[in-house]
Structure 1
Amino acid sequence: MANTDAKQSQAVQAEGDYSRHIPVMLREVLDALQAGQTGVFVDGTFGAGGYSRAILQTGARLIGIDRDPTAIANGRSMEQEFAGRFTLVQNRFSQLGAAIEQVLGEGEQVDGIVLDIGVSSMQIDEADRGFSFQKDGPLDMRMSVSGPSAADVVNRLKAGDLARIFNFLGEERHAGRIARMIEKRRAVEPFTRTLDLANAIETLVGRHPKDRIHPATRVFQALRVYVNEELNELADALIAAEERLKPGGRLVVVTFHSLEDRIVKRFFADRAGGSGGSRHMPEVYERRPSFTAVVKGAVSASEEEADRNPRARSAKLRAGMRTDEPPMAADYALFGLPKLPDTQDLSRS
């Protein structure tokens, strides 16, 4: 335990402001991943490098992936520090298969993959990225700093589409009212700043002194998830991980809200095997599992960690170990993803 705690302390020692970003459930992630010097592992969400550093300190070889060019630029010093064992690739984690082939070669597989889903605390803290309304900044929210921004979404989508986004991705009960307010206000003046949108939502909905969260919180979550296509990215990453893990390889996923956790839970439950078939093909057959459970259900952060790191309070960890069965068919219906407007339509319009 003491050695693991020491690794956790070392893992957050990075240059500049990165030192304040603490990887969530680091001990539990390392235990589930079982990284070691004989293996090749993937950190699909490099961020500030907390998981990556701890994995590298086991002696493992590692591929780090991040779509954020700022995270990649800041991680180059770590790449030099662990030269020969660590390679950073700028890409979406849904494309982890392509990243693995870029580093290892076509058809190669790895011993473990870890995914920390959602926005990183370093992105939230940077006002210029527009992920949060704690500080005023441009209404952006793009992890890869390309494509349509949150401002494009709120100023160009129809009120009905906005309401669906706020309702499904943010579970916002005032979704319709907020969408109609946005449509009316933007006709006079478009939304370009985070505080402007947050204040407009607060004025519309109101805020009780006992409210635990700001009334704009769920809308901002929904916009971030939509702009970055996070749920689709997660589904694609799970499918890719199944193809790229060796037999005995481990997939460890840390999520931070129920929509993400539901996708991961459904994936592992489906890959555990059991009866197969469909309403179009009524024959029932037994499917052999492509994953077996590493931990039972979802693991939450300890009370001590949750007190120390607020980001850990909503975190859930699920993990599975790859069997020697071939990957199952990529049936995206199991994830229950919503039908929402394509972000590419905003790019074309």
Structure 2
Amino acid sequence: MSAGSVAVVVIDQDVPFWDLYELGVVCTVFGIPQPDLADPWYDLRLCTVRPEQPPPPGPPGFTLRAPWGLEGLEGADTVIVPSVPEACVDGERELPAELLAALRAAADRGARLASLCAGAFALAAAGLLDGRRATAHWMHTEALARRHPRVTVDDSVLYVDDGQVLTSAGVTAGLDLCLHLVRRDLGAHVANQLARRLVVPAHRPGGQAQFVEVAVPAADDRGLAPVLQWATERLDRPLTVDELAARAGMSARTFHRRVQATTGTTPLRWLLAQRLARAQSLLETTALPVERIGELCGLGTAANLRRHFTLHFGVTPTDYRRSFPGPV
């Protein structure tokens, strides 16, 4: 598998503090070599619209010196817009025409395009989200839908993978999307190892809610996190919600509500996502037969694994395995 090249677009070289978060996420995931996971790692290009011009005055932040202009988008496998200036979100300032043209040219030649948070406004202004489902930070989705009515804006998800074009919500959702791209490029095992190094969840599905009732378990909610960890270590077992609830010291109804509030999904859907992630890792890193993998990830038979795997990933386990060089 090849990591490829990633061009990151910085609209202005003067970057306010709050926009550095998304930019930092992209640079952390794609810009730090991980030779033990994949060698070569991604080739990161930090690009700006007009490198020869001084940045306009703006709020306190940092001034970046991007080594690339928009020519850095040419030939890039992936183009990411981590943010746009607040004035472009409010409609007080138009995005540079040369940027929109460069994004359209990248799309026309088949590059993958992604946005984090308000970066969706750049893709939308270029017409790349027309007729597509997309998302942004929930504080910006109303403005995105109003200014770009041909875009189907979904403010209830972390990120949207629409094939060639992907969009995400705020900082942590942007990290989820970047790890999702690594997962698409290099597989679940590499993405999981990278997530572990970053001390973040290995996989949050894009359909998980942006804004959940409780983002982090309450301080006295000692039963939930340990029992979810306990479950991930025993995926080969036929786990039930009643069993997990009892281990957490809760009723099944309370456990269901706590998991839904914390993760944005139901206990059974969360458990299925963990089982499928385990199956991906085993397919990538072992030569075990599909029947045995079905047993180890708790999906039982090979037929059951194939059904769920194909439904979620669009390919059979066997076809997925062929995409990887196999265990060493």
Global fold match (TM > 0.5): no
By relative contact order (CA 8 Å, sep 6+), the higher-ranking structure is 1
TM-score by length of 2: 0.31
